Amino acid sequence: MTDYEKLKNHLRPLLGGGVVLAFSGGVDSALLLAALAELRSSFPFRLLAVNMHSPLQSDAELREAEHAAAAAGVELTVFDYDPLRLPAIADNPPDRCYHCKREFFSRIIAAAATAGLAAVIDGTNADDLQVYRPGRRALRELGIKSPLAELGMTKADVRRIAAGLGLSSAARPAAPCLATRFEYGVRLTPELLQRAAAGERILRGFFPEPADLRLRIHAAVIARIEIPPACFSTAVEQHAAISAALRELGFHYVTLDLEGFRSGGMDRLLSPRSPEPAP
């Protein structure tokens, strides 16, 4: 049995009561949507894909989610909400993700209840269990199911299966919320978040191949670029143009992080840094 068949079998017990999928458009939720859409073709059940759009996500991510849902033949419901109205999120504390996920999924649960659907699932994968993810506690408290993590599927597994299915998101770099570009304790505003998104759009113009990259922002005026070491030569060759473009956004200093890209680049400031404890 293939891993994809295992995933569909794992999802089948949830279908009878209907399913709500928190859908970002990234490869994890896209794989789940593809599996659910395929299951629905042979066993009709109620399926709702929900995207919670906020200042913490770029508009490009919403467009990608809409495209991916349309490709799967599933209508996407988009809710706009403002997490920055909550100090526990806007103040960007180390447990910001817990409060954000709690707010986010409480709204999705309410949508599920209104629609009369029993199961709410998300795209957490097995790799997410090994790093600092305070939002996992909110998922447990609210009873959200994470099929990929439950099956032990890593991001590499997900990308491999997605590529085999021909999903457009298979090689797309991960796009965590824009709050991760800032040091903990920096008060988040729509303007700051848009500036981070604009900076990363500029960088992607210089690194057109799918590549994980982040623009980390320090003291509002320092842009620290995280890219894979394989991209360093391009950064050096284009250093003047990159620096000029980012200075146009108001950055006084533009730096290249010699350690390269790493997920959770701001979490090093936490002491101690450890995965969110398992139940």
Token pair for 23: 């859908």
pLDDT of residue 237: 96
pLDDT at 279: 33
pLDDT at 208 over 90: no
pLDDT of residue 210: 66
Distances (CA, A) of 269 to 5, 17, 93, 185: 41, 43, 12, 11
Going by pLDDT thresholds of 50, 70 and 90, the confidence category of residue 160 is very high
| Radius of gyration for the alpha carbons in the chain, expressed in angstroms and rounded | 19
pLDDT tens-place string over residues 83-97: 999 999 999 999 999
Q: What is the mean pLDDT of the chain?
A: 92
Q: How far apart are CA 47 and CA 40, in angstroms?
A: 8
Q: What is the pLDDT of residue 189?
A: 96
pLDDT at 119 over 60: yes
Residue 260 has pLDDT above 80, yes or no: yes
